[in-house]
Structure 1
């Protein structure tokens, strides 16, 4: 078994290890290739402007991170094409479906990028020029592989001509129209060929030869060779329906945490209301959460705090809730010994209780968030952890605001092992916990749009001048907004936040979804309706990052389900396109 994931940079140890394994595969599989081409691979990922294309590395790896195969895709946004630079299985891994799985994943990525086509080179199969029968057989096998997908060499051009007299390493230029049946006219074809040759081979091929090849593409529309090996292309085996589904992970055990104290609005009905509304769409594919080790939590939260929460909840009798009565924060070095006195040592406020089920319910939420993150690592484009209790107010060593463990932060930290992560918090209340956890880190960008803390909980954090410290300086962005704003003002702020996220260029986006910005929510003062939530989701979906959504607040149950449904319809529409969204909802 293997999974395919994108590697966009070398900022994490897992990515560096994957890149090193790819370089090893390249050396083994292409011993005659120029070594400088291999050595520039990390730089391609980190400096796209230098090469005038964006590089995306896809690795197929097993459960312990061993790379079984890889592909490198180049995106030329100025002419809106993709170019497959390399695709290879590891030595001894030529079977097992790795090549097909990688190629189908690439095609899906190209469809999301909405490119004109996927271009690449493939060694020629002309027996008049390839005299070595072993090499000829290999070349035929490669072309046969692509013919399975209805992809053939472009004809009536001089692309497959020697650069130097006697060169035998010749290539056809191929184009995969991705099933769109779109044609490429000669003028655009010449622009595409020039871009490929100059950006890929400008240092190797004289300009006059590049000009000659470009000018040989004179057909009104690109034409392709007739099939030679596969006369009926096979259907794509990768399930596009599954690829386009939002993976849904539900914290079924949440209902054990039911605080019936007066005024406690974080009730179990919140999740059933949302789940019922989502069931009326065709957007979701539900999977079961998988239990994760407490070590995941202790990488984000203080081990002493985690241990206290577990012990305190286990010691409480069913039905009893305890709240802080003192806050012994003047001397953090000497916490009280009594469990009930310690509540104020670990709690931020007076309305978030501990009870016998709080730890277990919060653990279940963590399981769901990490499972949702793993779904994205395994190839899903969007996942949703529908959980309670929420988590974004839980700091490294404290709980509060109905939150015990910061599920979104735990998911973000887990994803940061595989690339940069941005956390976008759109709850009405500032995610002080997420800010606290990542405040000194530069590999996780935290962005929050919320009610100004001068009037909104938690009151002590979420100010504009809180920008991070040490290595994290500049990587914490707060957008505190007025007590009463219109939806247009909010969307302008969201657009600004997204621009900042795009500058950071994360591999993954974690969204802390608060639906408490809705009209008449008992904890908020804004007035978003279902149409506003659709547009918010759409703006976020249009980023096309791998997205993990983790449920936070939202307490007006009369509209909670409808608002959640429209947010995800907007998110899906923004990610996959309005046309597909109409197909999905009709």
Structure 2
């Protein structure tokens, strides 16, 4: 069947050694889904998949792997959605992989490849990958999982060594209830002379009761043969095989080895690869300004975190330490040094607010650090405080840690930080912001490829604009309240498009009071089209919940439902995404707003 199946057909599901399938999974590896070959860590993982394939079969060519990559780039190239999982030790050492294809209309998945490193034995990697594909099929609404498996009878496989390997595999799959289809012509070879060791069509019913009706299975078999092997099938071959499915329901071989030993269970929706890695600075609350009217309070983080944890949307990660050079890559060294010293010297429990500004002579700053605050601040309500530098540095390290999660292959990561950062410019702080977390993360990501920053806070992201204004490798886009009526007042106008090499790489979309969700989505679609044309490798979203009706700092009328719709639109860009928290100060609704936004983003990215 299928021509030269010795090179092509023994490579699909059968690459794992039998004993690597039979043992329970350990915690020595992680399994993650790869969505594309854009991120360097994904490129390396795909090369490792190629190595594993070629270590098993010399007949697997570079063209086979190129086809796999093409299927990832164009998921519906063969009218299937392509799904690639890799089992990794650490970051980048691939120990096995599974490649499946999903048909959303016929509601099934076809497992094309499942392979483990030939040097690894007895670690349960094959079993873990197979279970992950089963879960994915169930999650996607699939009713069955199909694949091929070589035969275990002497009449169908004459080589006793090969037959023993086939037997071990079939025995393994019976643990899950998966068995060969019988009484059909599926095992008919193209060439009658090649009638040894021809694969069975296997069906795993996924612990479900969906019947194997003849008409539906015929459609599935035709889809598999046409889409996957159509160019190599002789005329009329597919029709002949499909017509051979006569029994209704379609019959599976009786259990030969053992009935399923796994308890039938529901889909496991809470596994880590279905949750967003969230990085939170566990000392953010040391920065607590208690003055009346200072709305940027620690409770904001607690409310958002609780709502996302209760919804099962996140997995919290600890922030890592990074050198100061990661901050000074974005911020002026003198400014960073000043902020550190000024905060260390601030009176305990007191806040120092700028009140003298160098409108005449910026070259002669006063000796007193508290008075010098006006040389580095853009407003009179963002104070120097004993713990401001430590909290701001912690926020920057959260953003860098979350950026590294994306660089290591995560499709979506979230830096839940405070203080916020998008108003902090290269040499200035203000708007409750000290270090520009999104810009620091974008700079870090930009060393691996182009970055787009999408600022969807109510206020203009003047910090990102100023920092990247003359660069063409970082696109900055901001939807915000018209600066003629809203902070920061001096930037965010539509005619600010960048300077020098950055000309055309800054887009401002100022909006009036009273914006509704429909109004906003119209402008968001325009902004997303600009980002799509830029073709970034990474997207950084500066997220503000102050766009929602009732926020004390905003005037718009968006709802939680609007946030979810906005997030789905952003997710449709299909770009590895880092979300960095900015504003949003109505604590009564922060939880539901966060839950709805990230529900939409997860559904359109890591769960698509």
| TM-score normalised by L of structure 2 | 0.77
Matched residue, 2:233: 205
- Which of residues 183, 192, 199 in structure 2 aligns to 1:171? 199
Matched residue, 1:321: 352
Which SS does the other structure have where 2:352 is aligned? coil
Which SS does the other structure have where 1:69 is aligned? strand
Q: What displacement does 1:482 show? A: 2.4
Matched residue, 2:520: 490
Please say if 1:225 is aligned against 2:256: no
Matched residue, 1:357: 387
After superposition, residues 64-463 of structure 1 pair within 5 angstroms as 64-76=91-103, 79=106, 81-167=108-194, 168-183=196-211, 185-235=213-263, 240-243=269-272, 249-260=279-290, 263-274=293-304, 281-283=310-312, 287=316, 289-294=318-323, 297-298=326-327, 301-302=330-331, 304=333, 306=336, 309-318=339-348, 319-321=350-352, 323=354, 325-326=356-357, 347-370=377-400, 385-395=415-425, 398-410=428-440, 424-434=454-464, 448-459=478-489, 461-462=491-492
Which SS does the other structure have where 1:103 is aligned? helix
- Which of residues 44, 47, 64 in structure 2 aligns to 1:20? 47
Over aligned residue pairs, what C-alpha RMSD do you find?
A: 4.5
Please, which moves more after superposition, 355-364 or 497-506?
497-506
CA contact (8 A) 1:536 1:567 kept: no
Q: What displacement does 1:553 show? A: 0.8
Matched residue, 2:599: 572
Larger Rg: 2
How many residue pairs align between the two structures? 572
Please say if 1:513 is aligned against 2:540: no
Please, which moves more after superposition, 145-154 or 82-91?
145-154
Alignment partners' CA distance in 2, 1:455 and 1:363: 31
Which SS does the other structure have where 2:200 is aligned? strand
* C-alpha distance 404-570 of structure 1, shift in aligned 2 (>3 A): closer
Q: What displacement does 1:392 show? A: 2.8
CA contact (8 A) 1:123 1:169 kept: yes
Matched residue, 1:8: 35
CA contact (8 A) 1:529 1:563 kept: no
Matched residue, 1:553: 583
Which SS does the other structure have where 1:485 is aligned? coil
Please, which moves more after superposition, 168-177 or 519-528?
168-177
Q: What displacement does 1:87 show? A: 1.6
Q: What displacement does 1:501 show? A: 7.4
* C-alpha distance 92-284 of structure 1, shift in aligned 2 (>3 A): same
Please, which moves more after superposition, 184-193 or 122-131?
184-193
Alignment partners' CA distance in 2, 1:205 and 1:469: 58
Please, which moves more after superposition, 40-49 or 206-215?
40-49
Unaligned runs of 5+ in 2: 1-27
Alignment partners' CA distance in 2, 1:127 and 1:399: 77
| TM-score normalised by L of structure 1 | 0.79
CA contact (8 A) 2:517 2:557 kept: yes
Alignment partners' CA distance in 1, 2:535 and 2:208: 29
Unaligned runs of 5+ in 1: 581-586
